Amino acid sequence: MTNQSKLEQLNEEIIHCRKCARLVAWREEVARVKRKAYIDQEYWGKPVPGFGDSNARVVVVGLAPGAHGSNRTGRNFTGDASGAFLYPALHRVGFANQPTAESRSDGLVLKDLYLTASGRCAPPDNKPSPEELNNCQPFLERDLEILKPQVIVCLGSIAFARVLRIYSIRNSAWKFGHGAHYQLENGTWILCSYHPSQQNTLTGKLTVNMFDDIWKKAKSLIK
Ligand code: SF4
């Protein structure tokens, strides 16, 4: 079975998941009520599966879908401000064929990179609970099992904590910080980055140059 068919099978399972009652209610409520600007659009309103190159050597782990971003469009970081910061950076370094991401049919192709998340359903206030993240963790584990990446880029401290948990790392010296990177015994690198949320990009906590450095570093860590 190829990686692509394994990921397709996994993603099919993900989009039918209804394990977290609070998130199922929220994602569907948002999809029904909609934001005024998108009132004519049909929202996805389901768990958002992984997206990208099925032979990627770099896997990017985000937090969870935005209510009116990927919960609307059905694809990671698509149709919101975080994506408008992320995809141009991926394009500049050659991981994406275009800098824009508007919908699942916009022609965007990722090369050598796969995008996934700690939680697959949009949470209220962008905050999944620890229990919800635990419920969702097996999906991320399976992404990582299938892809066996050389580099895992963690966008934000929650993604970093989740990845450490998956690999049973209890080393207190492994702390989250922008640009911090650590190597697992199996050779895989874990590279930390601030999340490209508006809270970080509008305040200057994460600048374009700082983010570009992450993707250059990710490339340099590939064997
Ligand atoms: S967050 Fe994950 S485990 Fe919970 S309902 Fe969504 S897909 Fe299922």
Please name the residue whose Cα sits nearest to atom 4 of ligand 1: 20
Closest by Cα among 144, 142, 139 to 120: 139
Please name the residue whose Cα sits nearest to atom 6 of ligand 1: 121
- Ligand 1 neighbourhood includes 17 CB (under 6 angstroms): yes
Other Cβ atoms within 10 Å of 202 Cβ, number: 11
Per-residue pLDDT tens over the stretch 40-69: 999 999 999 999 999 999 999 999 999 999
Q: CA torsion angle for 85, 61, 63, 54 (degrees, to 10)? A: 90
Type of residue at 134: N
Q: Answer whether residue 223 shows pLDDT above 90.
A: no
- Ligand 1 neighbourhood includes 47 CB (under 6 angstroms): yes
pLDDT level of residue 35 (50, 70, 90 thresholds): very high
Phi, psi of 53 (to 5 degrees): -80, 120
* C-alpha to C-alpha distance for 24 and 121, rounded to whole angstroms: 7
Q: Which of 11, 18, 23 to mutate to test the pocket of ligand 1 (most atoms within 8 A of CB)?
A: 23
DSSP per position, 83-139:
HHHHHHHHHHHTSBS-S---STTS---BSSEEEEES-SSPPGGG---HHHHHHHHHH
**pLDDT value at position 75?**
98
* C-alpha to C-alpha distance for 100 and 47, rounded to whole angstroms: 22
Give 152's strand partners: 59, 190
Per-residue pLDDT tens over the stretch 69-115: 999 999 999 999 999 999 999 999 999 999 999 999 999 999 999 99
Q: Answer whether residue 32 shows pLDDT above 90.
A: yes
Query: Average pLDDT in the 31-40 region?
Result: 97
**pLDDT value at position 198?**
97
- Closest atom of ligand 1 to CA, residue 133: 1
- Closest atom of ligand 1 to CA, residue 64: 1
- Closest atom of ligand 1 to CA, residue 128: 1
* C-alpha to C-alpha distance for 143 and 97, rounded to whole angstroms: 22
- Ligand 1 neighbourhood includes 120 CB (under 6 angstroms): yes
Per-residue pLDDT tens over the stretch 111-156: 999 999 999 999 999 999 999 999 999 999 999 999 999 999 999 9
Mean pLDDT across the chain: 98
* C-alpha to C-alpha distance for 126 and 134, rounded to whole angstroms: 16
* C-alpha to C-alpha distance for 118 and 140, rounded to whole angstroms: 7
Asked if 60 and 147 count as a contact pair (C-beta separation under 8 A), the reply is no
**pLDDT value at position 179?**
98
SS percent in the chain: helix, strand, coil, step 5: 45, 10, 45
